[in-house]
Amino acid sequence: MGDRIASSKLLCKDFSEIKASLVKSIGKFKETKRTEGISTSDLIMRIVKDYNEYVMRNLDRGYSRKELGVSYVKASNLNHFLPYFYQEKRLRVNRGLKKLREEVQKQQEKIQTVAKTAGMRRNIWVENADRLVAGFLEMFEEGCHKMGTAIRDRIQEQLMAKGNIKGLLCEHDDDDADYYYDDSTDEEYYEDEEKDEK
């Protein structure tokens, strides 16, 4: 089975009509249809690009040149370059490992810095824990005292307001004297007693 040519109607510029008619006459030409946005050359380059690497790797694995469809001369040339191929691969791997080692070292340094900072902050918290707790308890106690005082004052105001209203509305049974509550001295007295004392 020999080589064949596959191409669209628009042949390459350097492929003359005479050559095209010759290839067509012997039945080795296959006309193809073009697909918009797809380059045949790009597809072929992707396939052929790593062909040497593919052949060298498989020769090294033990495949014969016949199994790979490679001529004796090509196989000999590739076997000659095989040590250089692996040397290049080894250099790439070593470069990658060196980069990885450097990245790991950078991350270790960052972690050590964070650990030192955390350790220093922990020491600060331990040293100041008693002072911080005492300060909190003092503020809490002061706040509770203020709240208790405010509640007591509010209750007293409410009771005094209710007491004044009751005192103004109700009259005392004895001598028809009015009953009053003096909040400044917390004493109860009758209007008649006040007149007697004066």
Q: Give residue 1's pLDDT band: very low, low, confident or very high (50, 70, 90).
A: very low
Other Cβ atoms within 10 Å of 70 Cβ, number: 19
The more confident residue out of 192 and 70 is: 70
- How does pLDDT run across 108-140, given as a tens digit for each residue? 898 888 888 877 777 777 778 888 888 888 998
Q: b/e for 151-178, b at 16 or more Cβ within 10 A?
A: eeeeeeeeeeeebeeeeeeeeeeeeebe
- How does pLDDT run across 147-158, given as a tens digit for each residue? 999 999 998 888
Percent of the chain scoring above 90 in pLDDT? 9
Distance in angstroms (rounded) separating the CA atoms of residues 86 and 75:
16
pTM of the full structure? 0.26
Residue for token pair 């509305």: 169
Distance in angstroms (rounded) separating the CA atoms of residues 55 and 81:
12
